[in-house]
Structure 1
Amino acid sequence: MRVLVLGGDGYLGWPTALHLSDKGHEVAVLDNFARRGYDAELGVESLVPIESLADRIAAWHEVSGRVISSYEGDLLDAEFLFEAVRDFAPDTIVHYAEQRSAPYSMIDREHAVYTQHNNVIGNLNLLYAIAEIDPSIHLVKLGTMGEYGTPNVDIEEGWLDLEHNGRRDRVLFPKRPGSFYHLTKVHDSHNIEFTCRAWGLRATDLNQGVVYGQRTPQTALDPRLSTRFDYDAVFGTVLNRFVIQAVLGQPLTVYGKGAQTRGLIDIRDTVECIRLAVENPAEAGEFRVFNQMTESMSVAAIADLVADRFPGPVQIEQLENPRSEAPEHYYNVKHTGLVGLGLEPHLLSDTLIESMFDIVGANKHRVNPDKLRPTVRWRGALKS
């Protein structure tokens, strides 16, 4: 298949492009390099050095003999986007090209508006491009488990069979997102579902849990193929932060009591989930939803696991939670769809944490310790 990966220079976009290319698909990537710009804005950088997109693509050709094409531009530029889709003529578009940080969206009004405009309008431009150029293109869109929030009922895969006053219907599962970023993903899901229903588009919405890890079989082939390792309190995920704090001899900073439960997924499973979705497309007019996670665990349990696996003393420190979220909650998520397509999950209890200690140890001189502490507070966003 011909697959266009939007956001193909990013943390997940780049290893996804490599994985699909390695599996025999003809791949192109599109990016506006905004993610690299956020590093400059925030004064941080990836723990693991990353090459330019051009150098990455050249290295992949050198290592594998395979070619990845590239387009540089912005989804907000509809003319550019339409031309790129026409030029590459993809069978599938994988859409990662959005601002992906909840804390970033909560910094202030400006960052909230930017996140909403960038994500929602870019996605809407993409839906029009597909509809007008080739409605048979399968859209594989990365959503987030954060769309659902933490309801006091089981979370189904996207849809809910509802009975009300003696009548039955099938509706999108109710959403209660926890940030302006998560709200954009809800808006995206609704816009995509509408265009599937109204225009006959085909789409797979992947509501993904927290991703951990930095290596896939393809990125491990050459240092020039490395993807990002974010650790700061704005873009870094909780496991990455805990691993770095353990290696640096700092306390693991747990927000509140750490009873907040998160869905988790290994980066190797993320890229495989995308492959499975690409190779098993939704039907015309179908809005298909998969909950893309493999297990769930509380933040406190993740901290305990890191402390247990680290070969040295580790302290755990409880901080006031900067986020507005329930300190304890019910969390039971259905996630059978991708397993049904053939996913064989890696679990956090596997050896990945030990390999992450090695990665951090080799690059700990690149850590800015000041960036590990939270600076964005959900209520503080009102003060701008």
Structure 2
Amino acid sequence: MRILVLGGDGYLGWPTSLHLSRCGHDVAVADNFARRQYDFELGVESLVPIESLQTRVAAWREATGASIEVFVGDLTDADFTYGILRSFRPHAVVHFAEQRAAPYSMIDRKHAVYTQVNNVVGTLNLLYAIAEVDRDIHLVKLGTMGEYGTPNIDIEEGWLDLEYKGRKDRVLYPKRPGSFYHLSKVHDSHNIEFACRIWGLRATDLNQGVVYGQQTPETALDDRLATRFDYDAVFGTVLNRFVIQAVLGHPLTVYGRGGQRRGIIDIRDTVRCIQLACENPAERGEFRVFNQMTEAMSVKEIAETVVRCFPGEARIEHLDNPRVEQEEHYYNVTHTGLLELGLTPHLLSDTLITSLFDVTKRHAHRVRLEALRPKVDWRRHASPVQET
């Protein structure tokens, strides 16, 4: 297959591109390098040094003999978006190219507006481009489990069969997201479903849980192929922060009581899920939804797992929760679609033991301690970050 990966320079986009290439697919990547600009803005870098996209692509060619084509541009530029589809003519488009951090979207008005415009407009341009260039292109879109919020009923895979006043219908599962970022993903899902229903497009919406891990078999081939390892309070995932705090001998900072439950998934399973979705496309006119997660754990349970697996002393500290969220809630998620396609999940404790602690120890000198503490408060409509 010819597969175009949008956001192919990012934390997940890069290892996904390598995995698809190693599976024998003809891969191209597109990126505007906005994620690298966020590092300059926030004054923090990936714990693991990452090479330029051009260096990465050259290293992949050296390691495997496979070529990856590169497009540089922005999906909010409609001409660029149409152009890459006409040039590469993909069978599938994997869409990672969005601002992905809830805290970033909650810094202030400017960051909220940027997140919504970048994410929603970029996806709209892509939908129109697919509709006009080739409606057989299968869109594989990275969504988020955060779209659902924390409802007091089971979370189904995108759709809900209901009966009301004696009548039955199948509707999109109700969404109640917890940040302007998650709201942008909800808008995406509705726009994609609309395009499938009206234009007959085919799309798979992958509502992904929190991803952990930094290495895949492909990135491990050469240090120049490494992907990001974000740990700061804006872009870093909670598990990454806990691992770094344990290695440095700092307490693991749990927000509130830590009863917030999350769906989680190993990065090795993420790239496999994308492969399975691409190789088993949705039908024409179908808006297919998979809940892309393998386990559900509370934040406190994640911290306790890190403490248990760490070969040394580690302890937990509870902080005031800067987010507006339920700290104890029902959470039961249906996630059978990808398992039925052949996913064999990795376990959280296994990943911690085999890779995360070792990666962190190797690069611990790069940690900026001040970046570990939360600075974005959901209850504020603005922040100390100045508008320019």
TM-score of the two chains, using structure 2 as the length reference: 0.98
1:238 and 2:238 equivalent?
Answer: yes
Residue in 1 that maps onto 2:35: 35
Shift of the alpha carbon at 1:350? 1.9
Task: Check the 8 A contact 2:196/2:285 in 1, yes or no.
Answer: yes
Shift of the alpha carbon at 1:349? 2.7
- 1: CA distance, partners of 2:213 / 2:8: 18
- 2: CA distance, partners of 1:381 / 1:250: 31
Residue in 2 that maps onto 1:153: 153
1:352–1:192 distance in 2 versus 1, CA, 3 Å: same
The DSSP-based 3-state class of the residue aligned with 1:272 is helix
The DSSP-based 3-state class of the residue aligned with 1:350 is helix
Residue in 2 that maps onto 1:129: 129
Residue in 2 that maps onto 1:225: 225
Task: Check the 8 A contact 1:309/1:354 in 2, yes or no.
Answer: no
Residue in 2 that maps onto 1:84: 84
Amino acid at match of 2:260: Q
Amino acid at match of 1:3: I
1:294-313 to 2 correspondence within 5 Å?
294-313=294-313
- 1: CA distance, partners of 2:305 / 2:82: 47
Residue in 2 that maps onto 1:352: 352
- 2: CA distance, partners of 1:59 / 1:335: 36
1:67 and 2:61 equivalent?
Answer: no
Task: Check the 8 A contact 2:309/2:352 in 1, yes or no.
Answer: no
Residue in 1 that maps onto 2:212: 212
Residues 237-261 of structure 1, C-alpha deviations (whole Å, 9 max, x = no match): 0000000000011000000000000
Deviation larger for 31-40 or 354-363: 354-363
The DSSP-based 3-state class of the residue aligned with 1:242 is helix
The DSSP-based 3-state class of the residue aligned with 1:380 is coil
Shift of the alpha carbon at 1:34? 0.1
Task: Check the 8 A contact 2:263/2:295 in 1, yes or no.
Answer: yes
The DSSP-based 3-state class of the residue aligned with 2:240 is helix
Amino acid at match of 2:369: P
The DSSP-based 3-state class of the residue aligned with 2:306 is helix
The DSSP-based 3-state class of the residue aligned with 1:291 is strand
Residue in 2 that maps onto 1:367: 367
Q: Percent identity?
A: 74
The DSSP-based 3-state class of the residue aligned with 1:379 is coil
Residue in 1 that maps onto 2:203: 203
Residue in 1 that maps onto 2:270: 270
Shift of the alpha carbon at 1:333? 0.1
- 1: CA distance, partners of 2:185 / 2:138: 18
Amino acid at match of 1:376: V
Task: Check the 8 A contact 2:157/2:289 in 1, yes or no.
Answer: yes
Shift of the alpha carbon at 1:63? 0.1
Task: Check the 8 A contact 1:144/1:209 in 2, yes or no.
Answer: yes
- 2: CA distance, partners of 1:116 / 1:353: 38
Task: Check the 8 A contact 1:306/1:353 in 2, yes or no.
Answer: no
Residue in 2 that maps onto 1:11: 11
The unaligned stretches of length 5 or more in structure 2 are none
The unaligned stretches of length 5 or more in structure 1 are none
Shift of the alpha carbon at 1:202? 0.1
Task: Check the 8 A contact 1:254/1:319 in 2, yes or no.
Answer: yes
Amino acid at match of 2:217: P
- 1: CA distance, partners of 2:154 / 2:36: 37
Shift of the alpha carbon at 1:381? 2.8
Query: Number of aligned pairs?
Result: 384
Task: Check the 8 A contact 2:266/2:351 in 1, yes or no.
Answer: no
Shift of the alpha carbon at 1:351? 4.2
1:173 and 2:173 equivalent?
Answer: yes
- 1: CA distance, partners of 2:104 / 2:382: 14
1:332 and 2:332 equivalent?
Answer: yes
- 1: CA distance, partners of 2:310 / 2:84: 47
TM-score of the two chains, using structure 1 as the length reference: 0.99
- 2: CA distance, partners of 1:351 / 1:73: 34
- 2: CA distance, partners of 1:353 / 1:336: 27
1:261 and 2:261 equivalent?
Answer: yes
Amino acid at match of 1:304: E
Residue in 2 that maps onto 1:47: 47
The DSSP-based 3-state class of the residue aligned with 1:313 is coil
Residue in 2 that maps onto 1:191: 191
Amino acid at match of 1:103: P
1:185–1:224 distance in 2 versus 1, CA, 3 Å: same
Q: CA RMSD in A?
A: 0.8
